[in-house]
């Protein structure tokens, strides 16, 4: 299969390497030193499950260099989807599948505003990984998995094609009958990332201290309340299960949003807690912890994007 991996970070680098290793025709989109390192030395993935090296990885910095992709995996930051969707439209054919693996709950909708809706699946992935150095991805934990499904809940032949593709590449996968619920379940979990950023804690530290643990639980319950107002089908015991997952995460673990905020980089805050705040206003739900977290990070986000209004006397 001809596959375009748009964004060769921790997510795209890992899953793209698995697909390339299985013999698929994979082209990676990367930038800067990362691009040059992959061109020179190939793509190296260090993993707790075994390292991979794609010595002659096909890589470019221009999406439209790719033609007739059968599958497009979007693995850029959530806020970059609007910037790339028109280019993606140019590289697909009428039977192509576009599968977003972004955090948040907006990616598929934003893609489908430009790309034919029937070609955009809902999707998510689970993995802890990051760019360790140019040309090097480090998968540090969590069993990697891709979950996907048609947004209308219908089982289609395209879902079977993806299941076979991922199975052949040794990628754990799930063909979902309710991808909206699965995306929201991940969304609820990842929105703790901003709380880590504000409190300057790891997951272990956050859950250990009584005060921050209470904030974490309140934040999760607020998002669950929003999901129920929206009509997402998630069972009431999901929050307890999410807390159990957080309690089992490696003590020093953080998240990409957390690290982006700490490092003064643009983050996905508008697509995580910012989305919670907007939807809460729409559905009339009170979300004080999510609003506090979002409001605390907003000035840092504006500075990172060069949009902070400075007044001079």
Domain that holds residue 40: 2-177
Q: Are residues 13 and 161 in the same domain?
A: yes
The predicted structure's pLDDT at residue 141: 73
d(CA 98, CA 163): 14
The predicted structure's pLDDT at residue 310: 61
d(CA 13, CA 5): 8
Greatest CA separation for the chain: 64
Q: Are residues 211 and 88 in the same domain?
A: no
The predicted structure's pLDDT at residue 29: 98
Q: Are residues 38 and 156 in the same domain?
A: yes
Taking 90 as the threshold, does the pLDDT of residue 263 lie above it?
yes
The pLDDT tens digits for 68-81 are: 999 999 999 999 99
Q: What is the mean pLDDT of the chain?
A: 95
Q: How many domains does the chain have?
A: 2
Q: Considering 177, 212, 247, which residue would you say is the last residue of a domain?
A: 177
Taking 70 as the threshold, does the pLDDT of residue 313 lie above it?
no
Sequence-ordered list of residues with C-beta below 8 angstroms from that of 65, at least 6 positions apart, any chain: 27
Q: Is 162 within 8 Å of 227 (Cβ atoms)?
A: no
Taking 90 as the threshold, does the pLDDT of residue 177 lie above it?
yes
Which percentage of the chain shows pLDDT scores above 70?
98
The pLDDT tens digits for 11-25 are: 999 999 999 999 999
The pLDDT tens digits for 182-211 are: 999 999 999 999 999 999 999 999 999 999
Residue 309 belongs to some domain of the structure: no
Q: Are residues 41 and 104 in the same domain?
A: yes
Q: Are residues 40 and 61 in the same domain?
A: yes
Q: Helices 210-230 & 273-283, crossing angle to 10 degrees?
A: 50
Which pLDDT band holds residue 140 (cuts at 50, 70, 90)?
Answer: confident
Between 249 and 4, residue with greater pLDDT: 4
Which pLDDT band holds residue 307 (cuts at 50, 70, 90)?
Answer: confident
Q: Are residues 162 and 29 in the same domain?
A: yes
Taking 50 as the threshold, does the pLDDT of residue 312 lie above it?
no
Q: Is 91 within 8 Å of 69 (Cβ atoms)?
A: yes
The predicted structure's pLDDT at residue 142: 74
Start-to-end C-alpha separation, the chain: 60
257-267 mean pLDDT: 95
Q: Considering 177, 204, 224, which residue would you say is the last residue of a domain?
A: 177
Helices (H), the chain: 10-21, 32-41, 81-91, 107-112, 157-168, 179-190, 193-199, 203-208, 210-230, 238-248, 256-262, 273-283, 288-304
131-145 mean pLDDT: 91
d(CA 27, CA 60): 7
Taking 70 as the threshold, does the pLDDT of residue 296 lie above it?
yes
The pLDDT tens digits for 211-236 are: 999 999 999 999 999 999 999 999 98
Strand partners, 43: 54
pTM of the predicted model as reported, rounded to 2 decimal places: 0.91
Q: Considering 120, 154, 177, which residue would you say is the last residue of a domain?
A: 177
Q: Are residues 189 and 57 in the same domain?
A: no
25-30 mean pLDDT: 98
DSSP 5: E
Sequence-ordered list of residues with C-beta below 8 angstroms from that of 267, at least 6 positions apart, any chain: 77, 197, 257, 260, 261, 297, 301, 304
Q: Are residues 152 and 23 in the same domain?
A: yes
């Amino acid at each position: 299969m001809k596959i375009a991996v748009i964004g060769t970070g921790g997510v795209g680098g890992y899953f793209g390497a698995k697909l390339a290793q299985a013999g698929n025709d994979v082209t990676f989109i990367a930038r800067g030193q990362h691009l040059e390192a992959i061109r020179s030395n190939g793509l190296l993935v260090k993993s707790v499950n075994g390292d991979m090296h794609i010595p002659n990885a096909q890589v470019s910095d221009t999406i439209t260099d790719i033609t007739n992709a059968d599958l497009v995996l979007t693995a850029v930051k959530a806020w970059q989807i609007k910037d790339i969707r028109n280019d993606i439209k140019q590289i697909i054919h009428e039977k192509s599948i576009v599968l977003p693996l972004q955090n948040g709950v907006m990616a598929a909708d934003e893609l489908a505003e430009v790309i034919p809706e029937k070609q955009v699946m809902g999707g998510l992935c689970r993995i802890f990984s990051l760019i360790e150095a140019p040309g090097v991805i480090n998968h540090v934990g969590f069993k990697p998995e891709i979950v996907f499904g048609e947004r209308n809940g219908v089982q289609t032949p395209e879902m079977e094609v993806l299941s076979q593709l991922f199975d052949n590449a040794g990628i754990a996968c799930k063909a979902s009958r309710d991808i909206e619920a699965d995306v929201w379940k991940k969304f609820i979990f990842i929105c703790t990332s901003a709380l880590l950023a504000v409190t300057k804690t790891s997951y272990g530290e956050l859950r250990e201290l009584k005060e921050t643990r209470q904030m974490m639980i309140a934040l999760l319950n607020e998002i669950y309340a929003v999901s129920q107002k929206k009509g997402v089908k998630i069972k009431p015991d999901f929050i307890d299960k999410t807390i159990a997952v957080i309690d089992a995460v490696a003590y020093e673990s953080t998240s990409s949003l957390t690290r982006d905020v700490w490092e003064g980089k643009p983050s996905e805050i508008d697509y995580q807690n910012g989305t919670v705040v907007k939807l809460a206003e729409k559905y009339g739900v009170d979300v004080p912890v999510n609003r506090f977290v979002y409001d605390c990070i907003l000035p840092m986000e504006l500075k990172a994007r060069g949009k902070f209004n400075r007044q001079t006397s």
